[in-house]
Chain A
Amino acid sequence: MPFPRLPDLPSLPMRPEDIVPQRINRAPSPLLASGLPWISVMLASLAAFSPVIASAPLVPPLAFMVFLAWRMLRPSLLPLWAGLPLGAFDDLYSGQPFGCAIVLWSAAMLVMDTIDNRLLWRSFVQDWAVACLMMIAYLVLCAGIAGLAAAYPLPLVIGPQLLVTLALYPLVTRLVALLDRIRLLPLRSV
Protein backbone atom coordinates (compact mmCIF):
# COMPACT_ATOMS: atom_id res chain seq x y z
CA MET A 1 0.00 0.00 0.00
CA PRO A 2 1.53 3.33 -0.98
CA PHE A 3 2.01 5.95 1.65
CA PRO A 4 -0.88 8.44 1.42
CA ARG A 5 0.09 11.77 -0.03
CA LEU A 6 -0.74 14.92 1.87
CA PRO A 7 -3.67 16.07 -0.33
CA ASP A 8 -5.31 12.63 -0.02
CA LEU A 9 -5.54 12.81 3.76
CA PRO A 10 -8.80 14.06 5.20
CA SER A 11 -8.19 17.59 6.39
CA LEU A 12 -8.12 18.07 10.13
CA PRO A 13 -10.49 20.60 11.68
CA MET A 14 -7.97 23.36 12.13
CA ARG A 15 -10.36 25.89 13.60
CA PRO A 16 -12.73 25.32 16.50
CA GLU A 17 -15.50 26.78 14.36
CA ASP A 18 -15.24 23.81 11.99
CA ILE A 19 -16.35 21.42 14.74
CA VAL A 20 -19.90 22.71 14.50
CA PRO A 21 -21.35 21.90 11.08
CA GLN A 22 -24.49 23.95 11.27
CA ARG A 23 -24.44 27.61 12.21
CA ILE A 24 -27.88 28.88 11.31
CA ASN A 25 -30.49 28.93 14.08
CA ARG A 26 -27.87 28.23 16.71
CA ALA A 27 -26.51 30.21 19.65
CA PRO A 28 -23.62 29.74 22.09
CA SER A 29 -24.40 27.62 25.10
CA PRO A 30 -24.84 30.07 28.01
CA LEU A 31 -23.11 27.72 30.47
CA LEU A 32 -19.98 27.50 28.34
CA ALA A 33 -20.05 31.14 27.30
CA SER A 34 -19.98 32.48 30.83
CA GLY A 35 -18.44 29.52 32.67
CA LEU A 36 -15.36 28.72 30.59
CA PRO A 37 -13.22 31.60 31.95
CA TRP A 38 -13.91 30.52 35.51
CA ILE A 39 -13.29 26.84 34.77
CA SER A 40 -10.07 27.51 32.86
CA VAL A 41 -8.63 29.63 35.69
CA MET A 42 -9.55 26.98 38.25
CA LEU A 43 -7.99 24.22 36.14
CA ALA A 44 -4.83 26.31 35.91
CA SER A 45 -4.85 26.53 39.73
CA LEU A 46 -4.92 22.74 39.83
CA ALA A 47 -1.65 22.66 37.87
CA ALA A 48 -0.01 22.16 41.28
CA PHE A 49 -1.22 18.58 41.06
CA SER A 50 1.01 18.00 38.08
CA PRO A 51 3.41 15.09 37.73
CA VAL A 52 6.38 17.30 38.60
CA ILE A 53 7.29 17.54 42.28
CA ALA A 54 9.42 20.65 42.18
CA SER A 55 12.09 21.37 44.76
CA ALA A 56 12.42 24.95 43.52
CA PRO A 57 9.80 27.43 42.31
CA LEU A 58 10.14 27.14 38.53
CA VAL A 59 6.63 26.71 37.21
CA PRO A 60 5.05 30.06 36.31
CA PRO A 61 1.90 31.09 38.18
CA LEU A 62 -0.35 29.71 35.45
CA ALA A 63 -3.63 30.49 37.16
CA PHE A 64 -2.78 34.18 37.53
CA MET A 65 -1.57 34.33 33.93
CA VAL A 66 -4.79 32.80 32.59
CA PHE A 67 -6.81 35.12 34.81
CA LEU A 68 -4.91 38.16 33.53
CA ALA A 69 -5.20 37.00 29.92
CA TRP A 70 -9.00 36.66 30.20
CA ARG A 71 -9.17 40.10 31.78
CA MET A 72 -7.16 41.62 28.93
CA LEU A 73 -8.96 39.77 26.14
CA ARG A 74 -12.52 40.32 27.41
CA PRO A 75 -12.45 43.17 29.95
CA SER A 76 -16.07 42.80 31.03
CA LEU A 77 -16.37 39.03 31.04
CA LEU A 78 -14.98 38.43 34.51
CA PRO A 79 -16.69 40.72 37.03
CA LEU A 80 -14.55 43.15 38.99
CA TRP A 81 -14.86 41.01 42.12
CA ALA A 82 -13.75 37.78 40.39
CA GLY A 83 -10.44 37.91 42.29
CA LEU A 84 -12.22 37.00 45.52
CA PRO A 85 -13.60 33.53 44.60
CA LEU A 86 -10.92 32.60 42.08
CA GLY A 87 -8.12 33.77 44.38
CA ALA A 88 -9.59 31.80 47.28
CA PHE A 89 -9.63 28.68 45.10
CA ASP A 90 -6.04 29.25 44.02
CA ASP A 91 -4.92 29.72 47.63
CA LEU A 92 -6.16 26.24 48.46
CA TYR A 93 -3.62 24.68 46.10
CA SER A 94 -0.80 27.20 45.71
CA GLY A 95 0.91 26.67 49.06
CA GLN A 96 0.99 30.38 49.74
CA PRO A 97 -0.57 31.57 53.01
CA PHE A 98 -4.35 31.61 52.63
CA GLY A 99 -5.54 35.04 51.49
CA CYS A 100 -2.46 35.89 49.44
CA ALA A 101 -4.11 35.31 46.06
CA ILE A 102 -7.39 36.88 47.20
CA VAL A 103 -5.60 40.12 47.99
CA LEU A 104 -3.32 40.15 44.96
CA TRP A 105 -5.92 39.07 42.40
CA SER A 106 -8.50 41.57 43.70
CA ALA A 107 -5.83 44.26 43.55
CA ALA A 108 -4.92 43.15 40.03
CA MET A 109 -8.53 43.56 38.91
CA LEU A 110 -8.69 47.06 40.37
CA VAL A 111 -5.33 48.00 38.85
CA MET A 112 -6.39 46.66 35.45
CA ASP A 113 -9.56 48.74 35.70
CA THR A 114 -7.47 51.87 36.33
CA ILE A 115 -5.11 51.01 33.48
CA ASP A 116 -8.04 50.48 31.12
CA ASN A 117 -9.37 53.89 32.04
CA ARG A 118 -5.99 55.56 31.46
CA LEU A 119 -4.81 53.83 28.31
CA LEU A 120 -7.52 54.19 25.75
CA TRP A 121 -5.82 52.18 23.02
CA ARG A 122 -4.64 48.63 23.13
CA SER A 123 -1.88 46.78 21.31
CA PHE A 124 -0.04 43.51 21.68
CA VAL A 125 3.20 45.06 22.94
CA GLN A 126 1.40 47.33 25.34
CA ASP A 127 -0.67 44.48 26.73
CA TRP A 128 2.44 42.37 27.17
CA ALA A 129 4.27 45.23 28.90
CA VAL A 130 1.37 45.81 31.29
CA ALA A 131 1.14 42.09 31.97
CA CYS A 132 4.90 41.95 32.59
CA LEU A 133 4.64 44.68 35.20
CA MET A 134 1.67 42.98 36.85
CA MET A 135 3.36 39.57 36.91
CA ILE A 136 6.65 40.94 38.26
CA ALA A 137 4.76 42.68 41.04
CA TYR A 138 2.71 39.54 41.67
CA LEU A 139 5.70 37.20 41.94
CA VAL A 140 7.76 39.55 44.08
CA LEU A 141 4.84 40.16 46.45
CA CYS A 142 4.08 36.42 46.59
CA ALA A 143 7.68 35.64 47.51
CA GLY A 144 7.63 38.44 50.09
CA ILE A 145 4.43 37.15 51.68
CA ALA A 146 5.77 33.59 51.68
CA GLY A 147 8.94 34.86 53.34
CA LEU A 148 6.85 36.65 55.93
CA ALA A 149 4.96 33.43 56.66
CA ALA A 150 8.16 31.40 56.91
CA ALA A 151 9.66 34.04 59.26
CA TYR A 152 12.75 33.88 57.08
CA PRO A 153 13.75 36.37 54.41
CA LEU A 154 13.41 34.28 51.26
CA PRO A 155 16.40 34.68 48.98
CA LEU A 156 15.76 35.84 45.45
CA VAL A 157 14.90 32.43 44.10
CA ILE A 158 12.21 33.67 41.76
CA GLY A 159 14.55 34.95 39.02
CA PRO A 160 14.29 31.96 36.65
CA GLN A 161 10.57 31.64 37.34
CA LEU A 162 10.11 35.31 36.52
CA LEU A 163 11.84 35.01 33.15
CA VAL A 164 9.82 31.92 32.23
CA THR A 165 6.64 33.70 33.24
CA LEU A 166 7.31 36.81 31.17
CA ALA A 167 8.29 34.80 28.11
CA LEU A 168 5.32 32.47 28.38
CA TYR A 169 2.62 35.11 28.70
CA PRO A 170 1.95 35.57 24.95
CA LEU A 171 1.49 31.80 24.64
CA VAL A 172 -1.05 31.88 27.45
CA THR A 173 -2.90 34.69 25.70
CA ARG A 174 -3.01 32.56 22.51
CA LEU A 175 -4.41 29.68 24.52
CA VAL A 176 -7.02 31.91 26.10
CA ALA A 177 -7.92 33.29 22.66
CA LEU A 178 -8.48 29.71 21.48
CA LEU A 179 -10.64 29.04 24.53
CA ASP A 180 -12.56 32.19 23.75
CA ARG A 181 -13.43 30.85 20.31
CA ILE A 182 -14.51 27.53 21.84
CA ARG A 183 -16.55 29.48 24.36
CA LEU A 184 -18.67 31.06 21.63
CA LEU A 185 -19.26 27.93 19.54
CA PRO A 186 -22.93 27.80 18.47
CA LEU A 187 -23.85 24.60 20.27
CA ARG A 188 -27.39 25.36 21.38
CA SER A 189 -30.21 25.26 18.85
CA VAL A 190 -32.51 28.23 19.14
Chain B
Amino acid sequence: MARPADRRPGFSRRAQYGIFTGYVIAVAGFLAGAALLIVSIVNPSAFSSVRGAASEIARPAGEAGAETRAAGQSVIAAIGAYFQAGRQNAALSREVAAARANALTMQALEGENRRLKALLGIVDPAVKPVAAARLIGSTSASARRFAVLSAGSSQGVRPGQPVRSAAGLIGRVIETGPGTARVLLVTDPENVVPVRRARDGLPAFVEGKSDGRIAIRLLNMGVNPLKLGDVFVTSGSGGLYPPGIPVAVVTEVLHDGGVGHLASDPADADFVVVLPVFQPAAITALGASQQAAGPAPEPSEAGGGT
Protein backbone atom coordinates (compact mmCIF):
# COMPACT_ATOMS: atom_id res chain seq x y z
CA MET B 1 0.00 0.00 0.00
CA ALA B 2 1.38 3.36 -0.91
CA ARG B 3 1.20 6.08 1.66
CA PRO B 4 -1.58 8.63 1.17
CA ALA B 5 -0.38 11.70 -0.67
CA ASP B 6 -2.72 14.15 1.02
CA ARG B 7 0.07 16.19 2.55
CA ARG B 8 1.11 17.74 -0.76
CA PRO B 9 -0.27 21.25 -0.68
CA GLY B 10 0.09 22.00 -4.39
CA PHE B 11 0.37 25.66 -5.22
CA SER B 12 -2.00 26.91 -2.53
CA ARG B 13 -0.09 29.41 -0.41
CA ARG B 14 -2.61 29.01 2.37
CA ALA B 15 -2.10 25.25 2.56
CA GLN B 16 1.68 25.67 2.45
CA TYR B 17 1.60 28.16 5.32
CA GLY B 18 -0.71 25.83 7.22
CA ILE B 19 1.78 22.97 7.00
CA PHE B 20 4.67 25.24 7.92
CA THR B 21 2.77 26.54 10.98
CA GLY B 22 2.08 22.94 11.98
CA TYR B 23 5.81 22.22 12.03
CA VAL B 24 6.50 25.40 14.00
CA ILE B 25 3.88 24.54 16.63
CA ALA B 26 5.12 20.94 16.86
CA VAL B 27 8.71 22.01 17.47
CA ALA B 28 7.54 24.71 19.88
CA GLY B 29 5.48 22.07 21.70
CA PHE B 30 8.54 19.85 21.97
CA LEU B 31 10.61 22.70 23.43
CA ALA B 32 7.82 23.78 25.79
CA GLY B 33 7.47 20.19 26.96
CA ALA B 34 11.21 19.99 27.60
CA ALA B 35 11.04 23.18 29.66
CA LEU B 36 8.07 21.86 31.66
CA LEU B 37 9.90 18.59 32.19
CA ILE B 38 12.96 20.36 33.62
CA VAL B 39 10.74 22.44 35.90
CA SER B 40 8.88 19.38 37.17
CA ILE B 41 12.09 17.41 37.77
CA VAL B 42 13.67 20.28 39.70
CA ASN B 43 10.46 21.03 41.61
CA PRO B 44 8.28 17.88 41.70
CA SER B 45 5.31 19.64 43.32
CA ALA B 46 5.17 22.38 40.68
CA PHE B 47 2.13 21.00 38.87
CA SER B 48 0.40 19.38 41.81
CA SER B 49 -2.63 21.66 41.65
CA VAL B 50 -3.26 20.84 37.98
CA ARG B 51 -2.86 17.13 38.67
CA GLY B 52 -5.18 17.43 41.66
CA ALA B 53 -7.86 19.08 39.53
CA ALA B 54 -7.46 16.36 36.89
CA SER B 55 -7.92 13.59 39.46
CA GLU B 56 -11.00 15.37 40.82
CA ILE B 57 -12.55 15.19 37.36
CA ALA B 58 -11.76 11.49 36.95
CA ARG B 59 -12.83 10.62 40.49
CA PRO B 60 -16.30 9.16 39.70
CA ALA B 61 -14.78 6.78 37.15
CA GLY B 62 -12.16 5.69 39.65
CA GLU B 63 -14.67 5.08 42.41
CA ALA B 64 -16.83 2.98 40.11
CA GLY B 65 -13.71 1.02 39.18
CA ALA B 66 -12.78 0.49 42.82
CA GLU B 67 -16.21 -0.94 43.59
CA THR B 68 -15.98 -3.22 40.55
CA ARG B 69 -12.62 -4.44 41.81
CA ALA B 70 -14.01 -5.34 45.23
CA ALA B 71 -17.03 -7.08 43.70
CA GLY B 72 -14.94 -8.98 41.16
CA GLN B 73 -12.50 -10.18 43.80
CA SER B 74 -15.25 -11.40 46.07
CA VAL B 75 -16.84 -13.37 43.21
CA ILE B 76 -13.54 -15.07 42.40
CA ALA B 77 -12.87 -15.70 46.08
CA ALA B 78 -16.33 -17.21 46.55
CA ILE B 79 -15.85 -19.59 43.62
CA GLY B 80 -12.39 -20.53 44.81
CA ALA B 81 -13.65 -21.19 48.33
CA TYR B 82 -15.92 -24.02 47.13
CA PHE B 83 -13.01 -25.96 45.78
CA GLN B 84 -11.05 -25.88 49.02
CA ALA B 85 -13.82 -25.88 51.62
CA GLY B 86 -12.93 -29.17 53.33
CA ARG B 87 -9.18 -28.69 53.44
CA GLN B 88 -9.61 -25.09 54.50
CA ASN B 89 -11.98 -26.06 57.30
CA ALA B 90 -9.46 -28.49 58.80
CA ALA B 91 -6.61 -26.00 58.48
CA LEU B 92 -8.67 -23.21 60.03
CA SER B 93 -9.73 -25.38 62.97
CA ARG B 94 -6.08 -26.11 63.73
CA GLU B 95 -5.24 -22.43 63.37
CA VAL B 96 -8.04 -21.34 65.69
CA ALA B 97 -6.86 -23.72 68.38
CA ALA B 98 -3.32 -22.36 68.12
CA ALA B 99 -4.55 -18.77 67.99
CA ARG B 100 -6.67 -19.20 71.11
CA ALA B 101 -3.59 -20.20 73.07
CA ASN B 102 -1.66 -17.29 71.58
CA ALA B 103 -4.43 -14.85 72.42
CA LEU B 104 -4.27 -15.77 76.11
CA THR B 105 -0.50 -15.22 76.11
CA MET B 106 -1.02 -11.90 74.33
CA GLN B 107 -3.52 -10.73 76.91
CA ALA B 108 -1.09 -11.48 79.69
CA LEU B 109 1.70 -9.68 77.84
CA GLU B 110 -0.53 -6.69 77.15
CA GLY B 111 -1.38 -6.37 80.79
CA GLU B 112 2.26 -6.59 81.74
CA ASN B 113 3.14 -4.03 79.07
CA ARG B 114 0.53 -1.62 80.40
CA ARG B 115 1.83 -2.02 83.96
CA LEU B 116 5.44 -1.48 82.88
CA LYS B 117 4.54 1.59 80.81
CA ALA B 118 2.62 3.01 83.77
CA LEU B 119 5.71 2.43 85.91
CA LEU B 120 7.92 4.28 83.43
CA GLY B 121 5.37 7.03 82.86
CA ILE B 122 5.11 6.57 79.08
CA VAL B 123 1.88 7.88 77.56
CA ASP B 124 1.04 6.53 74.09
CA PRO B 125 -0.72 9.13 71.99
CA ALA B 126 -4.09 7.78 70.91
CA VAL B 127 -3.94 7.47 67.11
CA LYS B 128 -7.22 8.50 65.57
CA PRO B 129 -7.40 7.98 61.79
CA VAL B 130 -7.82 11.08 59.65
CA ALA B 131 -9.98 9.47 56.99
CA ALA B 132 -10.93 6.13 55.48
CA ALA B 133 -11.08 6.00 51.70
CA ARG B 134 -10.63 3.86 48.62
CA LEU B 135 -7.67 3.76 46.28
CA ILE B 136 -9.28 4.77 42.99
CA GLY B 137 -6.40 4.83 40.56
CA SER B 138 -2.74 4.11 40.09
CA THR B 139 0.02 4.87 37.62
CA SER B 140 -0.03 1.40 36.15
CA ALA B 141 1.97 2.24 33.02
CA SER B 142 4.69 4.42 34.56
CA ALA B 143 7.83 3.34 36.38
CA ARG B 144 6.87 5.69 39.22
CA ARG B 145 4.42 4.23 41.70
CA PHE B 146 1.62 6.55 42.71
CA ALA B 147 -1.97 5.83 43.64
CA VAL B 148 -4.92 8.16 43.89
CA LEU B 149 -7.00 8.22 47.04
CA SER B 150 -10.69 9.16 47.13
CA ALA B 151 -10.29 11.56 50.06
CA GLY B 152 -8.61 14.95 50.03
CA SER B 153 -7.96 18.11 51.97
CA SER B 154 -11.68 18.61 52.67
CA GLN B 155 -11.55 15.41 54.76
CA GLY B 156 -8.42 16.63 56.55
CA VAL B 157 -5.85 14.73 54.47
CA ARG B 158 -2.52 16.58 54.35
CA PRO B 159 0.74 15.85 52.52
CA GLY B 160 3.07 13.63 54.56
CA GLN B 161 0.42 11.57 56.29
CA PRO B 162 0.94 7.80 56.21
CA VAL B 163 -1.63 5.54 54.56
CA ARG B 164 -2.23 1.96 55.64
CA SER B 165 -4.65 -0.84 54.95
CA ALA B 166 -5.77 -3.53 57.35
CA ALA B 167 -2.81 -5.70 56.33
CA GLY B 168 0.00 -3.16 56.34
CA LEU B 169 1.58 0.04 55.12
CA ILE B 170 0.53 1.39 51.70
CA GLY B 171 2.52 4.62 51.44
CA ARG B 172 2.27 8.27 52.28
CA VAL B 173 0.30 11.21 50.92
CA ILE B 174 2.34 13.63 48.82
CA GLU B 175 -0.21 15.88 47.12
CA THR B 176 -3.77 16.71 48.03
CA GLY B 177 -6.71 18.13 46.13
CA PRO B 178 -10.11 18.99 47.62
CA GLY B 179 -11.50 15.47 47.17
CA THR B 180 -8.56 13.36 46.07
CA ALA B 181 -4.99 12.81 47.19
CA ARG B 182 -1.94 11.33 45.53
CA VAL B 183 -0.19 8.58 47.49
CA LEU B 184 3.46 7.62 47.02
CA LEU B 185 3.36 3.83 47.36
CA VAL B 186 5.96 1.93 49.38
CA THR B 187 7.19 0.33 46.15
CA ASP B 188 8.28 3.67 44.67
CA PRO B 189 12.08 4.07 44.80
CA GLU B 190 11.68 7.53 46.31
CA ASN B 191 9.88 6.15 49.35
CA VAL B 192 12.27 5.18 52.16
CA VAL B 193 10.69 3.74 55.30
CA PRO B 194 12.59 3.05 58.55
CA VAL B 195 11.64 -0.41 59.79
CA ARG B 196 12.62 -3.00 62.38
CA ARG B 197 12.29 -6.75 62.41
CA ALA B 198 9.10 -7.67 64.25
CA ARG B 199 10.80 -10.55 66.08
CA ASP B 200 13.79 -8.81 67.67
CA GLY B 201 13.79 -5.16 66.60
CA LEU B 202 16.71 -5.41 64.16
CA PRO B 203 16.82 -1.92 62.56
CA ALA B 204 16.74 -1.50 58.79
CA PHE B 205 15.10 0.61 56.14
CA VAL B 206 13.17 -0.39 53.07
CA GLU B 207 13.24 1.24 49.68
CA GLY B 208 10.93 0.54 46.73
CA LYS B 209 12.28 -1.31 43.73
CA SER B 210 9.42 -0.15 41.49
CA ASP B 211 8.68 -3.68 40.33
CA GLY B 212 6.32 -4.59 43.15
CA ARG B 213 9.06 -5.68 45.54
CA ILE B 214 11.06 -3.69 48.04
CA ALA B 215 14.73 -3.69 48.95
CA ILE B 216 15.55 -4.17 52.64
CA ARG B 217 18.82 -2.56 53.70
CA LEU B 218 20.36 -3.18 57.10
CA LEU B 219 21.84 -0.42 59.20
CA ASN B 220 24.47 -2.64 60.83
CA MET B 221 27.05 -4.16 58.54
CA GLY B 222 28.49 -7.61 59.12
CA VAL B 223 26.93 -11.03 58.91
CA ASN B 224 23.54 -10.81 57.29
CA PRO B 225 21.04 -12.01 59.92
CA LEU B 226 18.00 -12.05 57.60
CA LYS B 227 15.97 -15.22 57.19
CA LEU B 228 13.27 -15.99 54.67
CA GLY B 229 9.87 -15.07 56.05
CA ASP B 230 11.10 -12.38 58.45
CA VAL B 231 8.45 -9.72 58.93
CA PHE B 232 9.45 -6.07 59.07
CA VAL B 233 7.27 -3.43 60.71
CA THR B 234 7.66 0.36 60.84
CA SER B 235 9.94 1.44 63.65
CA GLY B 236 8.57 4.93 64.21
CA SER B 237 12.00 6.56 63.89
CA GLY B 238 11.95 9.66 61.77
CA GLY B 239 8.59 10.55 63.29
CA LEU B 240 6.52 10.08 60.13
CA TYR B 241 5.12 6.55 60.33
CA PRO B 242 3.61 5.25 63.56
CA PRO B 243 5.50 2.18 64.83
CA GLY B 244 4.25 -1.35 64.38
CA ILE B 245 2.67 -1.28 60.92
CA PRO B 246 3.69 -4.35 58.87
CA VAL B 247 5.65 -3.37 55.77
CA ALA B 248 7.43 -6.33 54.19
CA VAL B 249 8.12 -10.04 54.32
CA VAL B 250 11.60 -11.20 53.29
CA THR B 251 11.48 -13.45 50.23
CA GLU B 252 15.09 -13.34 49.10
CA VAL B 253 18.26 -12.92 51.15
CA LEU B 254 21.16 -11.08 49.54
CA HIS B 255 24.68 -10.66 50.89
CA ASP B 256 23.99 -7.19 52.28
CA GLY B 257 20.29 -7.16 52.92
CA GLY B 258 17.29 -8.66 51.27
CA VAL B 259 14.37 -8.32 48.94
CA GLY B 260 10.89 -8.42 50.35
CA HIS B 261 7.32 -8.64 49.23
CA LEU B 262 4.76 -6.15 50.44
CA ALA B 263 2.83 -7.05 53.56
CA SER B 264 -0.16 -5.32 52.02
CA ASP B 265 -0.68 -5.40 48.28
CA PRO B 266 -2.47 -2.16 47.34
CA ALA B 267 -4.51 -4.10 44.76
CA ASP B 268 -6.08 -6.19 47.53
CA ALA B 269 -6.90 -3.29 49.82
CA ASP B 270 -10.58 -2.48 49.70
CA PHE B 271 -10.43 0.48 52.05
CA VAL B 272 -7.36 2.24 53.32
CA VAL B 273 -6.93 4.50 56.35
CA VAL B 274 -5.05 7.78 56.43
CA LEU B 275 -3.23 8.22 59.74
CA PRO B 276 -1.95 11.47 61.25
CA VAL B 277 1.78 12.12 61.20
CA PHE B 278 3.27 10.22 64.14
CA GLN B 279 5.42 12.99 65.65
CA PRO B 280 4.68 16.29 63.86
CA ALA B 281 6.95 18.27 66.19
CA ALA B 282 9.92 16.05 65.40
CA ILE B 283 9.31 16.38 61.65
CA THR B 284 9.18 20.18 61.89
CA ALA B 285 12.35 20.29 63.96
CA LEU B 286 14.11 17.95 61.53
CA GLY B 287 13.09 20.09 58.56
CA ALA B 288 14.23 23.27 60.30
CA SER B 289 17.63 21.80 61.19
CA GLN B 290 18.08 20.58 57.63
CA GLN B 291 17.31 24.04 56.28
CA ALA B 292 19.76 25.56 58.73
CA ALA B 293 22.46 23.11 57.69
CA GLY B 294 22.16 24.19 54.07
CA PRO B 295 21.63 22.04 51.00
CA ALA B 296 22.60 18.43 51.41
CA PRO B 297 25.26 17.02 49.07
CA GLU B 298 22.92 14.16 48.11
CA PRO B 299 19.21 14.90 47.70
CA SER B 300 18.32 11.56 49.23
CA GLU B 301 16.23 13.14 51.96
CA ALA B 302 13.36 13.36 49.48
CA GLY B 303 12.22 10.00 50.75
CA GLY B 304 11.60 11.56 54.16
CA GLY B 305 11.35 9.73 57.39
CA THR B 306 14.89 8.39 57.36
Partner of B3, one of A100, A122, A142: A122
Query: Could you tell me if A49 and B37 are in contact, using CB atoms closer than 8 angstroms?
Result: no
Kindly provide the distance from the CB of A34 to the nearest chain B CB, expressed in whole angstroms: 15
CA distance in complex: A122, B23 (Å) = 23
A185 sits at the interface (CB 8 A): no
> CB-CB < 8 A to B17: which residues of A?
none
Query: Could you tell me if B25 and A96 are in contact, using CB atoms closer than 8 angstroms?
Result: no
Kindly provide the distance from the CB of B205 to the nearest chain A CB, expressed in whole angstroms: 14
Partner of A51, one of B25, B46, B65, B300: B65
Instruction: Please tell me the size bucket of the interface on B.
Output: 35 or more
B4 sits at the interface (CB 8 A): yes
Give B270-306 as 1s and 0s: 1 = Cβ < 8 Å from A's Cβ atoms.
0000000000000000000000000000011010000
Mark out the residues of chain B between 51 and 70 whose CB falls within 8 Å of any chain A CB in the assembled complex.
Answer: 51, 54-55, 58, 61-62, 65-66, 68-69
Query: Could you tell me if B185 and A116 are in contact, using CB atoms closer than 8 angstroms?
Result: no
Given known pairs A80-B25, A145-B37, A155-B210, the reply for A52 and B50 (CB within 8 Å) is: no
Give B22-62 as 1s and 0s: 1 = Cβ < 8 Å from A's Cβ atoms.
11011111101111111111001011001100110010011
Given known pairs A81-B26, A92-B50, the reply for A150 and B144 (CB within 8 Å) is: yes
Query: Could you tell me if B137 and A121 are in contact, using CB atoms closer than 8 angstroms?
Result: no
Query: Could you tell me if A84 and B25 are in contact, using CB atoms closer than 8 angstroms?
Result: yes
Partner of A93, one of B22, B36, B54, B209: B54
A57 sits at the interface (CB 8 A): yes
A12 sits at the interface (CB 8 A): no
Beyond A48-B137, A56-B211, A151-B302: 17 further Cβ-contacts under 8 Å?
A: A48-B139, A54-B139, A54-B140, A60-B141, A61-B141, A75-B6, A84-B29, A84-B32, A95-B139, A98-B51, A101-B33, A106-B33, A146-B142, A146-B143, A148-B41, A150-B190, A152-B189
- Chain B interfacial positions (CB closer than 8 Å to A): 1-4, 6-7, 22-23, 25-30, 32-41, 44, 46-47, 50-51, 54-55, 58, 61-62, 65-66, 68-69, 72, 135-148, 185, 187-190, 209-212, 262, 265-267, 269, 299-300, 302
8 A-B pairs with least C-beta separation: A95-B139, A102-B33, A99-B36, A84-B29, A99-B37, A56-B212, A92-B54, A51-B69
- Chain A interfacial positions (CB closer than 8 Å to B): 46-62, 75-76, 79-81, 83-84, 87, 92-104, 106-107, 109-110, 116, 119-123, 142-143, 145-152, 154-155, 157-158, 161
